[in-house]
Chains A and B, each alone.
Chain A
Amino acid sequence: MRIPTESAAVGTDTPLAELPALLLPAYGQTWAMVGIVMVLVISLGGAMGVALYNTDRHGLFPQARIHAVLSWVANMGRSLPFLVLMAAIIPFTKWVTGTTIGIAAAVVPMTLAGIPFFARLVQNALNDLPRENLAVGLVTGGSPTQVISTTQIREALPALASAITLNTISMIEYSAIAGTIGAGGIGYLAVTYGYQRFDMNVMLATIVVLILTVQIVQFLGDRIARALARP
């Protein structure tokens, strides 16, 4: 009987020429996950951030109790490590998507982790605006929607662009973790090939791809934030 040795394992490295065929579909899956999640996170987390800010003392509808509840929910959502959250909500994920593996199953915990994170980023971005903005919105006759859109969201756009960048990078990271439950994507590749089969080429390739992706996302995010800023 042949006992596999380390050198034998190294021998299973995927040839470099075959890497693109392996990486590209996985990369597409990663972006599909991150894309779906970010759409949900920006809309739901953004709304939660606006609500957090406006129920606070200096907001449009100061409501101490509602603010406290929202704040508690946001903290709770961020207090669990992603891996723990993902495992803990498997029944919920199954109830929502009907499955516990694959992209759909990964989107649920990623969204749940992303919403409170993004909500806090939005709240911080709005907190950095001058306090008078609210008064300006009101004395110029703005309705609540107009006040929020013109004096809050529009004014905070550069900071919001940075918040989206930060959140996207976190979600890329989470998608890799979600790979461990068979969500597909780059993370799944790294786990099944790099970790379980000692496939050094795939391991290195996934690392390079992840580093480059994060660098590019950060670079683009910074560019957009700068373009949105005014003198």
Chain B
Amino acid sequence: MIEIRDLHKHYDTAEGRISVLRGIDLQVPSRSITAVVGPSGAGKSTLSHCISLLEKPSNGQILVDGKDLSALSGKALRAERRAIGTIFQNSALLRRMTVAENIALPLRNLGVVHHQMQDRVAELLDRVGLADKANAYPGQLSGGQRQRVGIARALALRPRLLLSDESTSGLDPESTAQVLELLDSLRSDLGLAIILITHEMDVVRHVADQVAQLDHGRIAEYGQVRELVSSPVSQTGAKLLPLRPEPLPVGFDYELAVAYRQRNVDPTWLTRLAVEHNARVALLGGSVESHHEGTLGRVRLGVAGLDAAEVISLLDSWGLTATVRDGWEPAETERIEVAV
């Protein structure tokens, strides 16, 4: 279990004090992935630097299995760093080292004996599916392969927390999928706690269990991905499964925002609503996707011929949450951040 308690970070400049993090609290249980999302300037990379112990927080604690690592420095810090493995954007491999040498770097820094180092590197190469690339140089690998080497390096000292700092940005969709699949399997196989710092909502939707929305150095919204997506008022949920619905056509009584609340919603629910309950239903927009914990979905409907309260209670009994929509919802029109 990784716990971040009341983390503050500020910088004193000539123009005065700049507060970048203003009290972050986050709990990342083992075997789970927590995504930290937010616009540029929200404090994501400062948080990432604090968690990877590259920067000392001004205040607050970073507890790994109850031990505060944020206060350490020098040799004590180097010794405890192994609890946290960091994956960087663009993999950050050393270009003049082979794949095997890159993976062995943490072991070498620690002074692990040669044959043990070789065994561990072989095991890690196998784990990330690059056993045939041990003697290749980073320049000879694809972006996705490089990132898998980066993951292997981060795993070398058997950390309890894996911190991924924008590790999939800049990767093509196929490589991104491979990296996410790997992270997903590491969570369950090694029981790792994983923190994904990212601006890519696709990534969050596919692998994260929890998501924290960072805004101006604070956590604006925090919860299970399922809960946020199925909440009609969650801004993070709206960003995770964004919709641009058609306007309500003439002849329909009201517009409904529907979200999948339960994991196994009957996929024919829309047909049932129309056929069994004689509702006239217009599909205005929708997004239904698979998540490792079951289907996620947000749908916008126009309904006529059936009372709203009745429809809402019906849908509720099928594991769907519905609310009548009226007017403008800011989260829908907000620009979804795509680049840092």
Q: Which residues of A approach B to under 8 Å, CB–CB?
A: 130, 132-133, 135-136, 138-143, 146, 150-151, 154-155, 157-158, 228, 230-231
Chain B interface size, under 10 / 10 to 19 / 20 to 34 / 35 or more: 20 to 34
- Stretch with Cβ within 8 A of A (4 or more), from B86-94, B176-184, B192-200, B322-330: B86-94
Residues of A within 8 A of B157 (CB): 141
Q: Which residues of B approach A to under 8 Å, CB–CB?
A: 52-54, 78-79, 81-82, 84-86, 88-90, 92, 94-97, 105-106, 108-110, 137-140, 153, 156-157
Distance A146 CA – B111 CA, assembled complex (angstroms): 11
Known: A139-B52, A140-B153, A141-B110. A130 touches B139 (CB 8 A): no
Q: What distance in Å separates the Cβ of B278 from its nearest Cβ neighbour in chain A? A: 62
Q: B95 near A155 (CB under 8 angstroms)?
A: yes
Q: A230 near B78 (CB under 8 angstroms)?
A: no
Q: B92 near A150 (CB under 8 angstroms)?
A: no
Distance A132 CA – B95 CA, assembled complex (angstroms): 12
Residue of B at shortest CB range from A131?
B92
Q: A132 near B139 (CB under 8 angstroms)?
A: no
Q: B96 near A141 (CB under 8 angstroms)?
A: no
Q: A154 near B96 (CB under 8 angstroms)?
A: yes
Which 3 pairs, one residue from A and one from B, show the smallest C-beta to C-beta distance? A132-B92, A140-B106, A231-B139
Distance A141 CA – B153 CA, assembled complex (angstroms): 12
Distance A231 CA – B135 CA, assembled complex (angstroms): 12
Residues of B within 8 A of A133 (CB): 92, 94
Q: B109 near A141 (CB under 8 angstroms)?
A: yes
Residue of B at shortest CB range from A151?
B94
Distance A151 CA – B96 CA, assembled complex (angstroms): 9
Residues of B within 8 A of A132 (CB): 88-90, 92
Known: A150-B105, A151-B94. A141 touches B137 (CB 8 A): no
Q: Which of A132, A138, A139, A157 has the most CB of B within 10 A?
A: A139
